[in-house]
Amino acid sequence: MEMNDPKRKEERREAEPDQGDGGPSSPKTERPGRDSILKRMKRVDPKQSERYKQRTGQ
């Protein structure tokens, strides 16, 4: 499995034409789903972590 295969780079270039530094490209920055992730965060029960009890592992 190769990260830098030309096919993959080609796909990235098509999706994100503004990235040109050769590394993995950042997703678009305008954050189209900002409201959606905020809604998901608002649905999180504020007390959830207090009920989350685990046993020690390694």
Partner 1 sequence: MIEDLPPLMGIETEYGIIRENAEDSDPVEESMALLKASDALSVFGAWSYRFENSHQDLRGFRVRSLAQDEEEDEFCEQDRERPYSYHDMKCDRTLSNGARFYNDHTHPEYSTPECNDLFQLVAHDIAGEHIVARAAELRNKALGGPHVQLFKNNTDYVGHSYGTHDNYMVARDVPFESIVSALVSFLVTRQLYAGSGKVGYEGRNESFSGLQLAQRSDFIESILSIETMTQRPIINTRDESHAGKEFRRLHLILGDANMSAYATALKVGATRLALGLVAAGEAPVLELEDPVADVKKISRDLTGRASLRLKSGKTITALEVQEAFCEAAQRCYAGKSEELNWVVSEWARTLSELKHAPEKLADRIDWAIKADLFQGFMEEESLDWDDPWLKSLDLEYHNLDPERGLYRGLEQEGRVLSLFKESEISEAVDNPPQGTRAWIRGNMVRYYTNDIQSIHWTGMKLKDDSVIDLTELTDPDAVEQWMNSNKEQWIWK
22 token code pair: 């050769």
| Host H or E run for residue 44 | none
Quick note: the x/- pattern for partner 1 over 20-39, rule CB under 8 A, is -xxxxxxxx--xxxx-xxx-
What Å distances lie between residue 29 and 14, 22, 42, CA to CA?
A: 16, 18, 22
| Among 3, 17, 18, 20, interactor with partner 1 by CB under 8 A | 3
The CA distance from 43 to 38, in Å, is 9
Q: Could you give the string, one character per residue 4-23, with x where binding to partner 1 holds by CB under 8 A and - elsewhere?
A: x----------------xxx
Residues forming the site for partner 1 (CB under 8 A): 1-4, 21-28, 31-34, 36-38, 40-58
